[in-house]
Amino acid sequence: MTMGLKDLLDRYPGAQTFKFGDSAKLSADLLALVRAGRKTATCGALRDYPSGSPETPVVGRRDIALDWDDRPALVIETVDVSICRFCDMTKDFALAEGENDTLEGWREDHRRYFERNGGFDPEMELLCERFRLIEDLAIEV
């Protein structure tokens, strides 16, 4: 039986909810990568995290990833947060995102993502988060 969002928020006080990706398919693909242990990092445009924003990842906080239909999917714990310009992204971090096998592939996919979501600049600052999977909320069949 799946746990409802209210119960999860009671279990993880202070947790924020979020979605990976910007489409149902990308969201499902990224959740699967986390479940498989391949995705242990994520990033977003720093401009999307205004100062004091509750959505900003916090080391030690546990947050709830929702699927595209707003159902709780995973609980992750932030283990590191940093800021990096797109053009300075490291291969280590890019590969930890689990979506690409090369830094070049990461750059191409993320450039397109940021172009779709507010604009791209090679010098744009990214909020980079490393996390660990705490709980997989998928329904066992």
State the pTM of this model: 0.93
Q: Where are the beta strands (DSSP E) in the chain?
A: 17-19, 41-45, 62-66, 72-85, 125-136
Calpha distance 31→26 (Å, rounded): 9
Could you tell me which residue, 104 or 138, shows the higher pLDDT?
104
Beta strands in 46-122 (DSSP E): 62-66, 72-85
Mean pLDDT of the region 17-29: 97
Q: What mean pLDDT, rounded, does the chain reach?
A: 95
Q: What are phi and psi of 128, to 5 degrees?
A: -105, 130
Q: Residues 86-134: pLDDT tens digits?
A: 999 999 999 999 999 999 999 999 999 999 999 999 999 999 999 999 9
Which pLDDT belongs to residue 139? 57
pLDDT of 43 over the 90 cut: yes
The whole-number pLDDT of residue 35 equals 97
**Quick check: 5 pLDDT over 60?**
yes
How far from 42 is each of 4, 47, 81, CA to CA, in Å? 25, 15, 10
CATH topology of domain 5-133: Sulfate adenylyltransferase (3.10.400)
- Distance separating alpha carbons of residues 60 and 32, to the nearest angstrom: 23
Q: How confident is the model at residue 138 (pLDDT cuts 50, 70, 90)?
A: confident
